[in-house]
Amino acid sequence: MKTVAVVGTQWGDEGKGKIVDMLAADADVIVRFQGGNNAAHTLVVGGKKFVLRLVPAGALHPGKACVIGNGLVVNPLALLGEIADLKRSGHLADDSLLKLSYEAHMVMPYHLAIDRAREARLGKRAIGTTGFGIGPAYEDKMARVGMRFEDLLDFKFFEEKLRRNIVEKNAYLKAMLKAKPIKADETVDAMKKARRRLLPYLCDTGAFVSEAIDSGKRVLFEGAHGTMLDIDHGTYPYVTSSNCVASAVFSGTGIGPGNLEAVLGISKGYTTRVGAGPFPSEFTGHLADSLREEGDEFGSATGRPRRIGWFDAVLARYTARVNGMWALALTKLDVLTGIDPVRICVGYIVKGKRYDDMPPSHRMLINAKPIFEEIPGWSESPAGALTLAELPSGVRRYVERISELVGVPIAMIGVGKEREATIVVRNPFAD
């Protein structure tokens, strides 16, 4: 297959970065299609850790085109910082390989200020956003007052629009949120300086990706966050503000549905979540703490400790459906070594009624009691295994049971942090 999307099937942080980085070796073009720098894709290459937030993970492979599609909201200064970091570490040497959509929206300082002030005012009811202004930027996109990268072509127009927005946002910040206003001159000056550095990356990315597909190139679409954080299909309102499911590939890049051949879902061998919201298979206590340490489960974007839960097969079946999943990649199985038994959530009890599939309303998840199946654990670490046959039998049994419960084949199994520590059962680009 030549066009493959990778999506998260939980609440983000599934280990997509590593899988995308690995698949990027076989791709010609790597495309982000939604979200912003609330995403943080962590990769370990040659013992060095990289965290990419906006630039597609393909940037760590020389010669690959990396596309930031129209579906993103991009903090321009954060993007320039990330590009500079990549260049300092010897990556992204050729600027012509990074393509930024004219139609992508910008995250402006007032978006960050509004995001943070709203969360502070919500107190206990806060969503637990990353505080990077993502929700307010998507609001402006829909309200048709967003700043798009194409606006930079005519700086006079850009400045007028920006100042108009700042007046309106400052009134809202002061009157409603009791927060400090944004300094207009400072913001305009920063954007004037950034403009010269941003313009060379601007591109008609829809046409670029379409042409790549038409000419037989391999294109990898890199999803961010996870299906349960999707604005429509996730645990609303405890979600992010974009569509994170595979169908967002089309609206977020400008290609049609017939152009996508496979969707690979990524899931951890257990579950994590940062921020507030329902999480039926969550557990706390000593085991959760040690798993958090072992799995380094601290938010890559914010450093917050992640909540910990067992693998949830009900969620996984649901996310397989909404994404039209071809196969699943399971990550971080090495982290479960030594835990006995391991549990899988196979159903919920809500108000006395059993649900084997996702209840009709996500609000019902707030009171859902998990039904667990216990599987014998394994004491021998799978780290270092290169094939299915080399996996400890306990891990194999666990993986097979997950595949059976979710109803999709397992394409990859992650057994460590490094790029190489992944057993590839099926490579979508080789199918």
- C-alpha span between 188 and 161 (Å, rounded): 11
- C-alpha span between 356 and 236 (Å, rounded): 21
395 interacts with ligand IMP by CB under 6 A: no
Q: Is 111 a catalytic residue?
A: no
Nearest by Cα to 22 from 41, 37, 1? 41
Q: Helices marked H in 12-108 — which ranges?
A: 16-24, 76-88
In the complex, minimum distance from the CB of residue 229 to ligand IMP, in angstroms, rounded to a whole number:
5
39 interacts with ligand IMP by CB under 6 A: yes
In the complex, minimum distance from the CB of residue 133 to ligand IMP, in angstroms, rounded to a whole number:
8
Nearest by Cα to 351 from 376, 337, 368? 368
DSSP sequence for 204-252: -HHHHHHHHHHTT--EEEE--S-GGG-TTTSSTTSS-SS--STTHHHHT
* Per-residue x/- track, 225-264, ligand IMP (CB under 6 A): x---x--------x-xx-----------------------
> Which H or E element spans position 197?
helix 184-198
In the complex, minimum distance from the CB of residue 10 to ligand IMP, in angstroms, rounded to a whole number:
9
Nearer Cβ to ligand IMP, position 36 or 347? Answer: 36
What does the block give as tokens for 329? Answer: 């990649």
In the complex, minimum distance from the CB of residue 387 to ligand IMP, in angstroms, rounded to a whole number:
31
Position among 130, 165, 205, 281 found at the interface with ligand IMP (CB under 6 A): 130
Window 196-225: residues binding ligand IMP (CB under 6 A)? 224-225
- CA 381 vs. chain centroid, Å, equals 28
What does the block give as tokens for 12? Answer: 């983000």
For residue 112, CA distances in Å to 92, 168, 427 come to: 28, 15, 39
Stretch that binds ligand IMP, among 18-26, 127-135, 314-322, 364-372 (CB under 6 A): 127-135
- C-alpha span between 171 and 376 (Å, rounded): 59
Position among 33, 50, 110, 132 found at the interface with ligand IMP (CB under 6 A): 132
Nearer Cβ to ligand IMP, position 151 or 230? Answer: 230
Position among 274, 313, 320, 385 found at the interface with ligand IMP (CB under 6 A): 274
56 interacts with ligand IMP by CB under 6 A: no
Given a contact cutoff of 8 angstroms between Cβ atoms, the answer to whether 23 and 416 are in contact is: no
Nearest by Cα to 366 from 233, 235, 226? 235
331 interacts with ligand IMP by CB under 6 A: no
Alpha-carbon torsion 91, 94, 97, 102, what sign? positive
9 interacts with ligand IMP by CB under 6 A: no
Q: Helices marked H in 146-183 — which ranges?
A: 155-175
Q: Is 431 a catalytic residue?
A: no
For residue 273, CA distances in Å to 278, 291, 303, 309, 394 come to: 9, 13, 13, 8, 26
Phi, psi of 416 (to 5 degrees): 175, 175
In the complex, minimum distance from the CB of residue 279 to ligand IMP, in angstroms, rounded to a whole number:
11
Stretch that binds ligand IMP, among 131-139, 200-208, 250-258, 327-335 (CB under 6 A): 131-139
Name the region of 15 (left: φ>0; alpha: ψ -120 to 50; beta: rest): left
Position among 128, 278, 324, 377 found at the interface with ligand IMP (CB under 6 A): 128
Residue nearest to ligand IMP (CB): 275
315 interacts with ligand IMP by CB under 6 A: no
Given a contact cutoff of 8 angstroms between Cβ atoms, the answer to whether 416 and 378 are in contact is: no
Nearer Cβ to ligand IMP, position 112 or 262? Answer: 112
Nearer Cβ to ligand IMP, position 108 or 274? Answer: 274
275 interacts with ligand IMP by CB under 6 A: yes
In the complex, minimum distance from the CB of residue 318 to ligand IMP, in angstroms, rounded to a whole number:
18
In the complex, minimum distance from the CB of residue 345 to ligand IMP, in angstroms, rounded to a whole number:
19
Catalytic option among 41, 105, 225, 362: 41
DSSP state of 125: G
The footprint of ligand IMP on this chain (CB under 6 A) covers a number of residues equal to 21
**Which residues contribute to the site for ligand IMP (CB under 6 A)?**
11-13, 38-40, 127-130, 132, 134-135, 224-225, 229, 238, 240-241, 274-275
Active site residues: 13, 41
